[in-house]
Structure 1
């Protein structure tokens, strides 16, 4: 058995003092003008490319697997752009959570909102098929410009960071739900609510199947079709992109037809294919710093 990790259980635990200091600095940085914030984020991303070798390796591995059609030089360029975009996202989060003076609504373009409205008009709850673009947290603020919504999340192990994220999101969202609380998610959908749910991370092999993502076998949870079936919900793709000049775009796709189909593996493959379609539009903005292919059938992680 592995050694049990004794994590702080109280926000006042002295071991969390450095985290509190970091949150304070995060708040201060968030007060910068938006264009300055993004420029500083790009600088942070360039710095991270040189200093965070392990994370850079994860990005390079993902890009090599998912974009084999690119030359080695093109893959390296895309990997660097991913790190720069992730740096933007970190400081973007600071501004999104802590700078309530800035009006992001006038920086936003929304396409496909009629798909959500049509489902609501039909009396259905809406399960937004979310995607881990690195603009995920400013995206949660921007989505609140269109409607009230709930978001499914995985709690952070650090209590201070978890509080920062939850408080930041709840400034704009109707509610947040732990990803393990399927019953609550289903209740919200049956009430006709909108729930954002992103199944595109590697949560292990429990309740997962191996289906292609960019042509690579990826352990993917099958809960999307199960939640949609129990919640009688329309499943609508939802992507959010960062545009030049500090502008943003949210794109909603048509509700997935004949979903769920009754075949969990086929449904999960379709979910991955749908997400891939939207990621290809702005691949540098996807969260490639995540070990998406960590679990493989042969037990060998490609990141070692």
Structure 2
């Protein structure tokens, strides 16, 4: 077994305890306290705060981005439908955000009980065939729970990529809880995006599964335009190459927080069949269709506030102005 270590330094330094970072440390302290609060009480508080903040001016920019995305993807949605979805979206953001301290501060048994695994048989079948897995997921708010409490805490070796937050305290905190079970498993790592795909492919060949979130817009030069709901989306054509070079199967997954059960539903769909196809455009299209099915598990918990459709087929068009 090999453990691959990221070259990106997220360790704490003396300067990280200077007054400029005290606000961040206070925030982490609050997450610690919230991680031990009764879950239903915390959820009610988060929902109340979200409802009160929904019409706050500082959210207008993000809501405008979300409404633009929803309008292009679902042109039949009325304004009332968009508003309703985004109100649910903000509640989920608040509830999930206040629970993130659990991933760092609560023990393994607690985390295992917080997750409802649906479709785990697809993982077990792939592992029984000695295959590496690319876990294909869109940007939903509960994605950390799937990777840490759903997979890593259950002994599944995982590697993934991250980009820094421009705040060294958050970098230390997030990379810390995302790798807290890695050493116990014996392999897996978190790589910075600047390191490229070579360590990921090496990990896959060592049967370390890859946690892949490919739905961000990375610009015209690196992307292909493929269908995404009722519009076209600039999409990285990486999935086929990763599956081929890493000799891996692709299992789509989605994470949805269920406030009624106070559990995270981590839903695994069946592996993509006859994949990769050998056609880069077809592979990218199949990936987007799989992502659509995942988002449809709970559209209100997808990150519609990201500039997902910034790069348009029409050069120079800015839909988010």
Tell me if TM exceeds 0.5: yes
Query: Matches of 1:162 and 1:301 in 2, distance apart?
Result: 31
How many corresponding residue pairs?
A: 297
Instruction: Say if 1:59 and 1:82, in contact at 8 Å, map to a contact too.
Output: no
Instruction: Say if 1:202 and 1:291, in contact at 8 Å, map to a contact too.
Output: yes
Query: Matches of 1:59 and 1:264 in 2, distance apart?
Result: 29
Residues 165-218 of structure 1: CA deviation (Å, up to 9, x unaligned): 111212244421223431110011111121111101123334211212222221
Q: Secondary structure in 2 aligned to 1:103?
A: helix
Q: Secondary structure in 2 aligned to 1:287?
A: coil
1:35 and 2:40 correspond: yes
Instruction: Say if 2:147 and 2:211, in contact at 8 Å, map to a contact too.
Output: no
In the other structure, the counterpart of 2:76 is 69
1:177 and 2:186 correspond: no
Instruction: Say if 2:115 and 2:145, in contact at 8 Å, map to a contact too.
Output: no
Closer, same or farther in 2 for the Cα pair 1:42/1:95, shift >3 Å? Answer: farther
Query: Matches of 1:233 and 1:100 in 2, distance apart?
Result: 31
TM-score between the two structures when normalised by the length of structure 2: 0.84
1:128 and 2:135 correspond: yes
In the other structure, the counterpart of 2:239 is 224
Query: Matches of 2:160 and 2:255 in 1, distance apart?
Result: 15
Q: CA deviation at 1:301?
A: 2.6
Closer, same or farther in 2 for the Cα pair 1:15/1:295, shift >3 Å? Answer: farther
Instruction: Say if 1:43 and 1:87, in contact at 8 Å, map to a contact too.
Output: no
Structure 2 portions without partners, runs of 5+: 1-12, 183-187
Q: Secondary structure in 2 aligned to 1:50?
A: coil
1:93 to 86, 92, 100: 100
1:23 to 21, 28, 34: 28
Residues 141-172 of structure 1: CA deviation (Å, up to 9, x unaligned): 32233623222222222211111111121224
Instruction: Say if 1:40 and 1:91, in contact at 8 Å, map to a contact too.
Output: no
Equivalence map 1:155-304=2 (5 Å)? 155-173=164-182, 174-179=188-193, 180-243=195-258, 244-297=260-313, 298-304=315-321
Closer, same or farther in 2 for the Cα pair 1:245/1:112, shift >3 Å? Answer: closer
Residues 89-116 of structure 1: CA deviation (Å, up to 9, x unaligned): 2112233333338713234322222222
Q: Secondary structure in 2 aligned to 1:24?
A: helix
Instruction: Say if 2:254 and 2:297, in contact at 8 Å, map to a contact too.
Output: no
Structure 1 portions without partners, runs of 5+: 1-7
1:117 and 2:134 correspond: no
1:45 to 47, 50, 56: 50
* More displaced stretch, 231-240 vs 200-209: 200-209
Instruction: Say if 1:63 and 1:78, in contact at 8 Å, map to a contact too.
Output: no
Closer, same or farther in 2 for the Cα pair 1:68/1:235, shift >3 Å? Answer: same
Query: Matches of 1:146 and 1:284 in 2, distance apart?
Result: 30
Q: CA deviation at 1:44?
A: 3.2
Query: Matches of 1:50 and 1:9 in 2, distance apart?
Result: 40
Closer, same or farther in 2 for the Cα pair 1:127/1:268, shift >3 Å? Answer: same
Instruction: Say if 1:137 and 1:169, in contact at 8 Å, map to a contact too.
Output: yes
